[in-house]
Structure 1
Amino acid sequence: MPNALSFPAIAELTQLQIDTVDLWHREPIENPYEGIKSLVCQQHEFNYRLWHEEDKARSPSATDQEIATVKRAIDGFNQARNDMIEKVDDALTIILCDAGVSAAGGPINTETPGSAIDRLSIMSLRLYHYREQADRADADESHRAKVNERIALCEQQHTDLSTSLQQLLDDIFAGRKQHRTYRQMKMYNDPTLNPSIYDAKK
């Protein structure tokens, strides 16, 4: 099982995400964790920062210069977020190798654990902000009803994904499924691959 091999239960990781979203809205961002939890928290932080930068970009009062600045910040946070997905998956690979777990020839999942943890991070942010909307003093009943329906749907999706991810990890650690890190290979931030960047230097 994952716990015996230094990989936390998914319930622990989702609680970390839920707790830090709430805490970071009240206190400075900190990462007091170690091991996989530290990587998950770091990846979660990039999603947190990305979420709030995207809010700024959609403000009707934002100037063109402000939007340009925010867009560059979004690109940076998105790249960092994707890098952390790979780091979580790489850490899982090391744990499996150290434990001698192999599933050569076994089936491969369409999504890696790192990617699913990233989706759960975004879901925790979505739930937090939907609950903010439900608690708005100026919201009418129709607004609250719509928001509460979406909260219920998000909660179900969060439960479904976290349960499926735990089952995937159980299969991986039991040798029933293979684990691989899929490289994101983003091109837009690479000055040697994005023509808008390297052409500008000519």
Structure 2
Amino acid sequence: MTTGQAITLRCFGQLAPARDDLIAIYSDVRAELLHLPNYAVPAFTERLDRHANAPGWAVVLAYADDGEAVGYAYGNVIDSDDRWWKRVAPTPASKYIDRPAVALKELGVRVPWRKTGTARRLHDSLLAAYVNEPYVTLMVNPAAGDGKVQRLYESWGYWSIGTSQPSPESPVLTVMIRPTLGRSSLA
């Protein structure tokens, strides 16, 4: 990141205007993993297209001053019957799934903009779009960054509630949850 270069956040409720930027950022962020079937660009685009058709889907993109897309966060609303919850072991407590929740499906920031607060700004901006859901949940590879990514989420108030393996090609992921913004009294 160039010293003093600011970012601008843009929120989209539809995939079309954000799709190319999302794929470009993803390809850069996951470059070292693209040879693995679960992380390959075609697998990501299939998931992206499916996720974008889910209820309450939204994405926030970060752009540098020069217009380069540098990060993204997207998610959607899930209810107790969503396959997200059905793959979590052990079964999550009913207080987490009795009401719709936000599933943070992807969060990625290009290397030059990491450790600048961009990821947290994307995260918080995305969650601000959801006012009726008491919890946000995500899945993280516990080995990512030698555990640094999971520890980052813990520092943002997330805690582990189980594990999930979304597909046979996927690693076993840690499922985490926390109250959405402005709901810190829930536990």
Tell me the TM-score range normalised by the shorter chain.
under 0.3
Structure showing the higher helix proportion among its residues: 1
More strand by share: 2
Return the TM-score normalized by structure 2.
0.27
Q: Which has the higher contact order (CA 8 A, sep 6+)?
A: 1
TM-score norm. by structure 1 comes to 0.25
